[in-house]
Amino acid sequence: MKKGTVSMKILLLEDDPILSDILLCHLNKHMHQTTHCDNGQLASDALNDQKFDLLILDINVPKLSGIDLLKEIRTYQNNTPAIIITAFQDTAHLKKGFENGCDDYIKKPFDLEELDLRIKNIQKRFHIVNEEALKLDDNISLIVSKNRLFANGISYTLTRKECKILLYLCNQKGKVISSEELIQNLW
């Protein structure tokens, strides 16, 4: 097992199902805990229920645009960093995004590496601390403090007991562990 880091808790507002899948897979692969919403109202609800480290918002989505959502949350003093992603190529939308509180702006199509660089820049500027993760295998990582397992780009929430069992088994790699041994050491 190697130690690594998990980056951020991200809200992704994107209504294109193909791009959403690509971004979710990419962000989870880079150990970001990502919540996806395909319309602005769902994103607004998620923001009322949870705290995020970063918002990635498309402008042209159903029910409430990314810019209107950003404008709304800024009126409530929510200063969560926000990156606007959009197919609009004009300067007017860029200006509107920055006037309403976005911290960065990416025009579609964009390279995933560019998104990574912009996310890292936001992390530095806003002093967002990474959490320690254990790399169990090439495509599997565990964040013990949050009971989160990342496997093949997908994030899973474990119970505390499941996390302890997994960690114990990984520390005993190559050994046969009886149920009695598990009970003795974990209960």
Whether 180 shows a pLDDT value over 60: the answer reads: yes
Identify the top-confidence range among 33-42, 154-163, 174-183. 33-42
| Residue 174: domain span | 131-186
Q: Is the pLDDT of residue 172 over 60?
A: yes
118 is written with which tokens?
A: 């912009």
Residues 175 and 100 in one domain: no
Residues 107, 178 share a domain: no
Residues 25 and 76 both lie in one domain: yes
Number of structural domains the chain divides into: 2
Is-contact 77 56, C-beta < 8 A? no
Residues 15 and 61 in one domain: yes
pLDDT the model gives residue 6: 54
Which of the listed residues 94, 125, 156 is the one where a domain comes to its end? 125
12-16, 25-29, 47-51, 169-173 — most confident range: 12-16
Whether the predicted pLDDT of 175 surpasses 90: no
Average pLDDT of span 151-162: 79
CATH of the domain at 106: 3.40.50.2300
Q: Is residue 2 part of a domain?
A: no
CA 109 to chain centre: 20
Do 98 and 141 reside in the same domain of the chain?
no
Residues 143 and 117 in one domain: no
In the listed set 103, 125, 147, which residue is the last one of a domain according to the structure? 125
Phi and psi at 80, nearest 5°, equal -55, 130
156 lies in the same domain as 120? no
DSSP per position, 114-179:
HHHHHHHHHHHHTTPPPEEEEEEETTEEEEGGGTEEEETTEEEE--HHHHHHHHHHHHTTTS---H
- Residue 102 and residue 141 in one domain: no
Domain annotation covers residue 1: no
Task: Give residue 100's pLDDT.
Answer: 92
The verdict on 21 and 105 lying in the same domain is yes
Predicted local distance difference test score (pLDDT) of residue 71: 93
Q: How confident is the model at residue 7 (pLDDT cuts 50, 70, 90)?
A: low
Q: How far apart are alpha carbons 51 and 26 in whole angstroms?
A: 21
pTM: 0.71
Q: What percent of the chain has pLDDT over 70?
A: 92
